[in-house]
Amino acid sequence: MIRWFNILRGFLMGIVELIPGISSGTLALLLGIYDELLISIQKLFSKDFKKAAGFVFPLIIGMAIAILSMSSVINYFLVNHTIIVHWFFLGLVFGVVPMMFKLGNYKYEFKAVHYILIVITIVGMYFLSTVNTGVQDVTEVDTSPGVLLFLFISGFLGATALVLPGLSGSVILLILGAYPVVIYSISEFTSFNFEVLPVLFATGFGIVFGVIFASKFIHYLLTHFTYLTYAFIIGLLLGSSFPIYHGMPTNTVQWILSVLLFLSGLILSYYVSTKNNKETI
């Protein structure tokens, strides 16, 4: 059975992946589909392929539609309303955190080691956010074998991050220096420049293999190291505030809009995440 509503969910996840600092894994948590997504990706290579494909492929379609149709719109808001937009997303991320503590049964299961892991992860995210995150201007692409291999590896690592809530695949691509090339190639492809197809294929295949690997690994961690994994994810979510944060508002109008959007994102995220998620991921 095809889950057609997942096209909309995938569309929202695709929009989120266009924004450096925001993770589609966070949105999957918010929508209450994170665990089912991990399991379905693994079942794509089993006898339950048809059922898993009915869940995963509509998500992929929705993400593809969002990436191809919304990249220019997202870029406009990021360039012209940077601070306001990012305060909204800060609210979305922080709103998921209480639900994660609840799922982790922190009152009974969290010990000192769990809180230490949260702090270490937050510190790691801070240093990650300071590394090579400047976007370079790209006006052409190189399709030599070495560059395509680099883009495959970048896609693999970015997709591994994509599956983890709080860790943005876009940030990983920024750090590796692949993000400007990928965004430029997407933009050129939508303008019917098919010379960028090798770049998109190389990155796309890397993303596919990365998602498959990461989903298996994270599901293993959740199964065998459940509460440590919850603590790690909480640290990722809190630490993702560093790459998302783009400064304080600079005038009265920005302050009002930023506060309102932050609170809107916080309330929306908290409400949706607690409504959609059950007691276990």
Domain positions in the chain: 6-276
pLDDT for residue 142 is more than 90: no
**Which pLDDT band, with edges at 50, 70 and 90, does 11 fall under?**
very high
pLDDT tens digits for range 82-133: 889 889 888 988 988 898 898 888 999 999 999 999 999 999 988 877 765 5
| Spatial separation of the C-alpha atoms in residues 269 and 261, rounded to whole Å | 12
pLDDT for residue 219 is more than 80: yes
Share of the chain above pLDDT 70, in %: 93
Its pTM stands at 0.75
Q: What is the largest CA-CA distance in the chain?
A: 58
Mean per-residue pLDDT, 140-156: 90
pLDDT tens digits for range 234-266: 998 898 888 788 889 989 999 999 999 999 989
Beta strands in 60-105 (DSSP E): none
Q: Give the sign of the dihedral formed by CA 30, CA 35, CA 38, CA 44.
A: negative
